[in-house]
Homo-oligomer: A and B are copies of this chain.
Amino acid sequence: MPIAKLSENRYGKSRVRVMRVTKHDDHHDLDEWTVQILLSGDFETAHTEGDNSKILPTDTMKNTCYYVASVSKADSIEAYAKALIDYILSRNAQVTGAEVIVKSHLWKRMTIDGQPYPTAFLRGSDEMQTTRVSKTQNGAFEIASGLDGLYVLKTAQSGFVGYIKDSLTTLPETTDRLFGTVVKAEWTYTPQAIAEGLDFNKVRTHLRETMLATFARHDSLSVQQTLFAMGEDALAHTEMIDSVYLLMPNKHNLLIDLARFGEENSNHIFVPTDEPHGTIEATIVRG
């Protein structure tokens, strides 16, 4: 009798990079994507016997990323991910389910002498637009889209008071602190919206603007409160999503003690730090 057996397992290809140039008559568009494909299925004998007869090589998945990028003409990362899944599921009956994650990197058209230049681009920030699409052979698409690496900072309307004090407390209360965070957001589209179809790029743009506006305007009593307000406003913005997950690390900026040098620090000189950082995460759902 075997001592061990296979439980949950997946395999696939990660960090497949694709640069797509779409050539119009008078200008080019540019997309840079990083793709991950993960497959579930009947892979037991692959693990226990080294039987590769049901294994689609990850190298072929890589080629699939390139091929589908060329033939699909997808106008969003969601459409591209769906096309990838359809292609793989339709050709591989041994695969019971597939998940595709696409991250889109920011490129902005250059402005030269006040005019958009048709074929030159500037890399944007480290913010990425993301989607995570999954499907089983006979199931419907599930789509969660979002953004990651959105680094924002507000210099007013942020404080932190009234928290627990104990023998290890050294943090002073403040009603005026910098609030910097690198937002990761992921919202889940409703089955109905997915079934009826929607303009993913448009919804994404609006949700991003909505959450940025809330971040800027919120009179923040804590990261938790601002995070919740951002999720709440996202849900209020559109019926097409039914939940928002937000991860907002607190990227601390430490106030320098200038009094040691005979100067007052009127909350104007800080040390930005990367570690340690607070970690705040929550999922907001429709009430």
Contact = CB atoms under 8 A, between A and B. Distances in A.
A202 interface: no
Contacts of A277: 13-15
Given A4-B231, A113-B213, A166-B60, A19 B282 contact: no
A56 B160 CA distance: 12
Contact of A63 (B3, B10, B53, B261): B261
B30 A155 contact: yes
A206 interface: no
Give the copy number: 4
Question: How extensive is the interface on chain A, given as a class?
Answer: 35 or more
Contacts of A13: 276-279
Interface stretch (A134-142, A189-197, A215-223): A215-223
Interface of A: 1-23, 28, 30, 32, 36, 38, 43, 46-60, 62-64, 66-67, 69-71, 91-92, 106-107, 110, 112-113, 117-126, 150-157, 160-164, 166-171, 178, 212-213, 215-217, 220-225, 227-228, 231-232, 235-236, 243, 249-250, 253, 256, 258, 260-263, 265-287
